Amino acid sequence: MVALALLVLLTADLVLAGIRIAPPRGALVVRPRGTQPGEFTSISAAVNALSNDTSPQSVFIYPGTYAEQVNITRSGPTTLYGYTLDTATYALNTVTLTDHKDATTAGSNDLSGTLRIEAPHVALYNLDVRNTFGLPRGVNQANQAIALSNYGDRVGVYGCGLYGYQDVLLANQGAQVYLRSRIEGGIDFVFGRLGQAYFKHNTIAVTAPANVTASGRQTNDSGIYLFERNALVKTADAWANTSGNVYFGRPWGDYARVVFKSTFVTVPMAPKMWNPWHPGDERTDHVLFAEHDTYGPGVPAHPQRPNFTTLLTDEEASRYNITFALGNGWADWVDESYL
């Protein structure tokens, strides 16, 4: 029954599945071996070879594991496509971008990112992005190590997988969507300061006792992490003490704003469901930590939500929609087939 409910949640209004096994016209091509003239063996080399102008450009990537860091900085629209037999899901992704770097060694959170986006109008399709620092679970776990560092605006992440341990996704600024993807981590693994991020139809997987989010919003600005119709699960190899020690989030900043709507929960959550930052440094004076229609076998039978959290009415929840998160004009850049 749980598996059926999860399938229904993540396939509702399902994007029309398709295959992507050949590059679109004009795309630069990456493959790990057997390259043809004009092709590349690394993703970074192809991205760096794109025209540095405002024209739309794309890169098509054949199956393989690419051990490197990639930084997207060009001003024009940029799309990275991974080879896949099913564009509608991350489950059949064949392209992995991986690195092993922590923020202390790299010099900052952003610089540790396996994939860094520092430009507007970027779209990612069917790519797995990993930062393996801190894995296997618990090794060097005290250091931040980012898989995707997103400083872009109007960025779409579709059918992708983001994997790491601590601080996996730095959703730091700009409007961004994460649709039909998998985000997997153990500590504060969705975090940032100014990001306007909308998450829908994703699998959010915890690998250890976890606060899923750590919103660092510092003023009453437009930043928000809005989750709608996602599944919160536990990985098969999660720490033994994960169950009962999972929280929706804690406030890195005193104006943290995080909303979870229609979340299907299978991993047993802690009765409080939300946390302050630290005892004696709570940072809860101006937070909005809100829920609506949280359901599933992992929801505590007798929740003990802190007094700084909010349970939204149906009317209140309806106001927190994709337009609220991203602003007017989102339909101009979001791939609506993934909604």
pLDDT in tens, 56-65: 999 999 999 9
Token code pair at residue 326: 């991203």
Place of tokens 């629209």: 77
Per-residue pLDDT, 332:
98
In whole angstroms, how far apart are CA 304 and each of 247, 269, 270, 275, 293?
12, 11, 9, 11, 16
DSSP reduced 3-state for 4: helix
Sign of the torsion angle spanned by Cα atoms 264, 217, 70, 130: negative
**Structural domain containing residue 24:** 2-338
Per-residue pLDDT, 17:
77
**pTM of this structure:** 0.95
The CATH number assigned to the domain holding 226 equals 2.160.20.10
Residue 272: Cβ-neighbour burial (10 angstroms; 0-12, 13-18, 19+): middle
In whole angstroms, how far apart are CA 139 and each of 136, 164, 182, 191?
6, 12, 22, 21
Write out residues in the chain with pLDDT < 70, as ranges: 1-16, 136-142
In whole angstroms, how far apart are CA 256 and each of 1, 202, 210, 244, 327?
35, 22, 17, 23, 18
The number of folded domains in the chain is 1
Give me the active site residues, please: 167, 188
Within its chain, how far is the Cα of 90 from the centroid? 12
CA dihedral 302, 303, 304, 306 (to 10 degrees): -170
- pLDDT tens for 215-238 read 999 999 999 999 999 999 999 999
Per-residue pLDDT, 238:
95
